[in-house]
Structure 1
Amino acid sequence: MNRLPKLSGLLLSLLLTATPHVAIAAPSLEQLFKQGEAAQEAKQYLEAERIWRQVIQQQPSDADAYLNLGDALYDQKQFNQAVAAYRQAIQLNPQLINAYTSLGAVLRDQGRLAEAIATHRQVLKIDPQNATAYNNLGVALADQNQTEEAIAAFRQSLKLNPKDAIVHTNLADTLEADKQIDAAIASYRQAIQLNPKNGTAYNNLANLFYRQKQLDEAMAAFRKSVEVEPQEATGHYGIGIILHDQGKLEEAIVNYRKAIAFDPLLIRPYEELGNALQDSEKSPSNAADYYGLGLLLSREGKTPQAIVAYRRAIALNPKLALAYKSLGDALLQNGPTALKSTEEAVVAYRQAVTLAPNYRPFYTDLSAIADQFQDFGNDQAAIAVYQLLLQMVPDDPATYVGLGRTYRQQGKLEIAVKQYRRAIELNQNYAEAHLELANLLSMDLQRWSEAEAAYRQAITLETDSDYFDVAINGFEESLRRQNKLETAIAFYRELLKRYPESMPLHRYLGDVLVEQKQFAAATPLYRRLIELQRTTQASPDQIASSYEKLDRILVLQDQVDAAFALYQEAIQLDPSNFQVLHHFAELQKSQNRRSEAVATYRQMIALAPTEILPRLWLGEILRLEQQFTEAITVYEEALKVAKDSYSKAIAHDGLGLIFEQQGNLTAAIRQFQQALQIFPGSSEVQRHLQAAEQRLKQK
């Protein structure tokens, strides 16, 4: 494990401060702008939001007001609403670069990297010489692991503004990730030369030296880091790590404690403090020590002892947020359904969030915990944790979806509907929210028209997802319940215009047309589906299924020769497709071309000698053709190959029918009895046995 994280991630060039208004006619608006700017500067973000909304109400076409509203929402972590505000600012003023910059930042925070990259590229279309945009583009590209492109963007930014220390640091971080170590060191040194007070550059350079096992250079850089930024925790932590490695445990402990004092939410110093206390056999003496010891005990699987240590840490420092979070995690080791432990864990999590509402790792961990509660049916705990998440990020649509699932699980269906609709309000492109809402409306409430609308939206947003088939099936069922399945045809055709290569859409449109008996219209869709499947190397089973669909409608249109030609073409393209051969044999049988079916079954047996079904099918058709000697041989071979009792019973039954047709009733009865001995539940074999016994009595 890398013990030394970088001081921070790559840094965007971004300043979220109120944008001054340049031309306002009404004095009242001028005053409102000043008030909004003052509230934003004083970090009174809710008040700033109220003011900017008031400005917009009076002057709806003011792009600057929307930009400033976006900033106020961004600072409240209402990311989706911030995105909407920035987009509105851009719509009103497509040249407003600050709106693009802020939009790119919030999209990055949401993990919507492709959109962030596109946004920064848009700035460069407006202003190709914008060094800041190149830096921000590089950051988003690096986040997406497009390292070469990120390096190129940072270098272009520095070409336009060579004295930007932040960009040199970003470039150095990315060069290191690309294993260009010497170049990374040079870039860090350049950043430091430009800004000798750049603690981040010193810290990250020290990390690089440490990973290269150049401990003296690493120590020097860490010491320089704490010299220029004495209250920066990671520098003290880095010094502690090196001292720890050198066996200087007392000094290491001092530095770990310093790091914790400067940043109580940085967890790694606590972990290493626990290790150092154990290595030095030193007893814990303060809250940080007990918390570090608790982390060590948790890693060793000593959960009860860890809980005691966490509680002791909290008693010594009731404001130690991390200890509450770890206590909650430890209490859940008894399982997410243990009632008392779960209740105590939720209380601990609530206190952790109260103390550190902006600490992102809490949000990530608690999201997973809430989902786990929901999965295990612990609804009350799930709801409690989802509510904590909304305290941290009030407009996260995923949290509302989780609440929707939980309330649905409780049978509180109308409340669940509200949660899903709120998620969709926050993100109209959230396909999963549309789908889950649709499933609830259809399966639980039978509100078919509303379900249809929700399914349409889910399908439109995701034509190639894991749950696309679920959405289609629900959509078609909602239409059937309204006796309007035919309306799916126009919808699918419209989607195919947008996604002409979509195999699922070709399949589903073809299936609906067949259900509506529009066979001629379905034929080209299935043909195109097969072409797409072959191009994309779909599975043999998928291709065979499409051939079977097309074959069926060709026969229904009395195009039997075309159906035969279709299968001959398919077999020529892929002679080893077992399912295609099976469907071809079924077609041959249905058209009384049994001798051809015999040849096809033999081809299948040659292709898969251990497969039992082709032998059983071949035995049956040979029996019907009264080729008894060959049929007996085939069934006897089948008995050698068969592994399951059902297949063996079918083979014995087939032999019994042959012997009965030959007039050898005693041998037939013996075979039927063997079949029933192997597979007693077969009513068909029982009928065959009774008929043979009756005939034998009559003789």
Structure 2
Amino acid sequence: MFPRKITSFIFIVIAPLVIWSCGSSAEYTSAKMAIEKSNWAEAEEYLFKALEVEPANAEVMVQIGYHVHAKKREWTEMNKMFNQAIDIDPSAKVLGRPVTEITKNYRSMFWAENYNKAIRKYNESRKSQDKSALQSAADMFNETLAIDPSEAQTYSILANCYYELGDSEKAVENAKKSHELMPNEFRSNYTLGQILALTGQKENAITYIEKAVEIEPNEQGAVKQLAGLYYETGLTEKSIKTFELAIKQEPDKAAKANLYFNLGVLHMQLKNFQDAEDNFMTAYDLNPNDTEALIGIAQTFENAEKWRRASKFYRELISLDPDNPEHYKGMARTLIKQGDPEGATRYLQKSKKVGG
């Protein structure tokens, strides 16, 4: 449902700089010395002591968020510290950079690291079909959200995880959250539309798939899904137009044959037998081994009362799929209409031999 591409990020100057300033308290100076030596227990102790004596020092807060809470994967606490630092003075410089920039970079770095790990776990679960691995992936995506809840793509793939885990409510909830954050992006609209369709809310799904196609009119998967949704909700004329668009975009012969077959089915419903015949014939020409297309052709001719042409394709179906009793029954019907009851009887008997 989604592209499983691991995201890469480039960050500029995100490594913590050790800045020695004359105005630092003794506690903060001790904390920076401990950071330089990678003595994290001592660094934590002195950073919190520094915050007690310098409660308005945004830099100390950022250092605590990065060196204490992030190391312990305490993402909520990390974000609280980062937000406090920004609230004190949004224009302040921290470690040589604007506080808003450095906290954003830190969040993005941790988000990307966790998101990529979660993507790998998700892909592993799909290969192994292991539900426990899928649950682990969902847990990892939830942790990624704790790092940066403003990243819409995390909600999109988490929605997919929950749907595969059988939790439709959480799937819809996360898909809606992604759309709320990015209402004009293709992925958020497409994901929400897909999840709504999969959970039986097909009419609601159309709104979002239409928007996705409006944003990316050449995205074949979305165009095909929209055509299918129109068909399933009884919007036959719209479905025909959308299938015709999908056919123009589809380069693969087998996939194109399937689209022509679907278009033939729609024309059958509208009793446009000539159009149905043309589309089924094109599907058959593109994929001669497609028995469904042959069935469609045979039924089209039968419905149009073209008995000889129908019987020709029923014979071909019997040749391709001799164990299907329905093909023999179809042949029998056409022979009756052509005034050959004996031939029809023979085919009915054959249908019973193969289980009909």
TM-score class, shorter:
0.5 to 0.7
1:75 is paired with a residue whose SS is coil
CA deviations on 1:511-546 (whole Å, 9 max, x unpaired) are 33234433232223222334555x245xx5x65653
User: In the alignment, which of 64, 68, 72 is matched to residue 76 of structure 1?
Assistant: 72
The corresponding residue for 1:475 is 196
The corresponding residue for 1:509 is 226
User: In the alignment, which of 191, 206, 210 is matched to residue 493 of structure 1?
Assistant: 210
Aligned residues: 310
User: In the alignment, which of 601, 612, 615 is matched to residue 314 of structure 2?
Assistant: 601
- Find out whether 1:112 has 2:116 as its counterpart: yes
For residues 566 and 519 of structure 1, the distance between their equivalents in structure 2, rounded to whole angstroms, comes to 16
- The answer to whether the 8 Å contact 1:619/1:632 transfers is no
- Find out whether 1:574 has 2:287 as its counterpart: yes
For residues 526 and 51 of structure 1, the distance between their equivalents in structure 2, rounded to whole angstroms, comes to 67
For residues 628 and 594 of structure 1, the distance between their equivalents in structure 2, rounded to whole angstroms, comes to 14
The corresponding residue for 1:434 is 159
1:506–1:99 distance in 2 versus 1, CA, 3 Å: closer
Amino acid in the other structure paired with 2:116: R
1:598–1:623 distance in 2 versus 1, CA, 3 Å: closer
For residues 98 and 340 of structure 2, the distance between their equivalents in structure 1, rounded to whole angstroms, comes to 79
For residues 141 and 343 of structure 2, the distance between their equivalents in structure 1, rounded to whole angstroms, comes to 64
The corresponding residue for 2:172 is 452
- State the shift of 1:603 in Å: 2.9
- The answer to whether the 8 Å contact 1:40/1:72 transfers is no
1:399–1:102 distance in 2 versus 1, CA, 3 Å: same
User: In the alignment, which of 344, 349, 353 is matched to residue 631 of structure 1?
Assistant: 344
Amino acid in the other structure paired with 2:286: L
Please list, as runs of the form range in 1=range in 2, the aligned pairs for 1:527-566 lying within 5 A after superposition. Answer: 527-533=244-250, 535-536=251-252, 540=254, 546-557=259-270, 559-566=272-279
- State the shift of 1:103 in Å: 6.9
2:66 is paired with a residue whose SS is helix
For residues 47 and 219 of structure 2, the distance between their equivalents in structure 1, rounded to whole angstroms, comes to 44
- The answer to whether the 8 Å contact 1:514/1:522 transfers is yes
- State the shift of 1:426 in Å: 4.4
1:67–1:610 distance in 2 versus 1, CA, 3 Å: farther
Amino acid in the other structure paired with 2:294: L
1:486–1:40 distance in 2 versus 1, CA, 3 Å: same
- The answer to whether the 8 Å contact 1:519/1:553 transfers is yes
Please list, as runs of the form range in 1=range in 2, the aligned pairs for 1:326-337 lying within 5 A after superposition. Answer: none
The corresponding residue for 2:7 is none
- State the shift of 1:474 in Å: 5.2
Listed as ranges, the gaps of 5+ residues in structure 2 are: 1-12, 87-93
The corresponding residue for 2:35 is 40
- Find out whether 1:648 has 2:354 as its counterpart: yes
- State the shift of 1:589 in Å: 2.2
User: In the alignment, which of 227, 233, 236 is matched to residue 519 of structure 1?
Assistant: 236
1:598–1:83 distance in 2 versus 1, CA, 3 Å: farther
For residues 53 and 558 of structure 1, the distance between their equivalents in structure 2, rounded to whole angstroms, comes to 78
The corresponding residue for 1:253 is none
CA deviations on 1:334-381 (whole Å, 9 max, x unpaired) are xxxxxxxxxxxxxxxxxxxxxxxxxxxxxx9xxx9xx99986xxxxxx
1:514 is paired with a residue whose SS is helix
- State the shift of 1:43 in Å: 0.8
For residues 623 and 598 of structure 1, the distance between their equivalents in structure 2, rounded to whole angstroms, comes to 7
For residues 54 and 492 of structure 1, the distance between their equivalents in structure 2, rounded to whole angstroms, comes to 53
1:596–1:109 distance in 2 versus 1, CA, 3 Å: same
The corresponding residue for 1:20 is 19
- State the shift of 1:492 in Å: 0.9
Amino acid in the other structure paired with 2:197: E
- State the shift of 1:648 in Å: 2.7
2:40 is paired with a residue whose SS is coil
1:36–1:515 distance in 2 versus 1, CA, 3 Å: farther
- State the shift of 1:53 in Å: 9.1
- The answer to whether the 8 Å contact 2:284/2:294 transfers is yes
CA deviations on 1:372-412 (whole Å, 9 max, x unpaired) are 9986xxxxxx9xxxxxxxxxxxxxx965846xxxxxxxxxx
2:305 is paired with a residue whose SS is coil
Please list, as runs of the form range in 1=range in 2, the aligned pairs for 1:225-244 lying within 5 A after superposition. Answer: none
Please list, as runs of the form range in 1=range in 2, the aligned pairs for 1:64-143 lying within 5 A after superposition. Answer: 66=62, 69-76=65-72, 112=116
Amino acid in the other structure paired with 1:434: A
Amino acid in the other structure paired with 2:158: A
User: Please, what TM-score do these two structures have when normalized by structure 1?
Assistant: 0.34
- State the shift of 1:491 in Å: 0.8
1:486 is paired with a residue whose SS is helix
1:17–1:91 distance in 2 versus 1, CA, 3 Å: closer
- State the shift of 1:574 in Å: 2.9
- State the shift of 1:475 in Å: 1.9
2:354 is paired with a residue whose SS is helix
User: Please, what TM-score do these two structures have when normalized by structure 2?
Assistant: 0.59
- State the shift of 1:34 in Å: 3.8
The corresponding residue for 1:678 is none
1:454–1:70 distance in 2 versus 1, CA, 3 Å: same
Please list, as runs of the form range in 1=range in 2, the aligned pairs for 1:219-368 lying within 5 A after superposition. Answer: none
Query: RMSD of the TM alignment (CA)?
Result: 5.6
Between the aligned residues of both structures, percent identity stands at 10
- The answer to whether the 8 Å contact 2:260/2:280 transfers is yes
- State the shift of 1:565 in Å: 2.0
- The answer to whether the 8 Å contact 1:567/1:580 transfers is yes
- State the shift of 1:599 in Å: 1.6
- State the shift of 1:432 in Å: 5.1
- The answer to whether the 8 Å contact 1:35/1:51 transfers is no
- Find out whether 1:583 has 2:289 as its counterpart: no
Amino acid in the other structure paired with 2:317: M
- The answer to whether the 8 Å contact 1:18/1:40 transfers is no
- The answer to whether the 8 Å contact 1:551/1:563 transfers is yes
- State the shift of 1:579 in Å: 1.7
Structure number with bigger Rg: 1
- State the shift of 1:617 in Å: 3.8
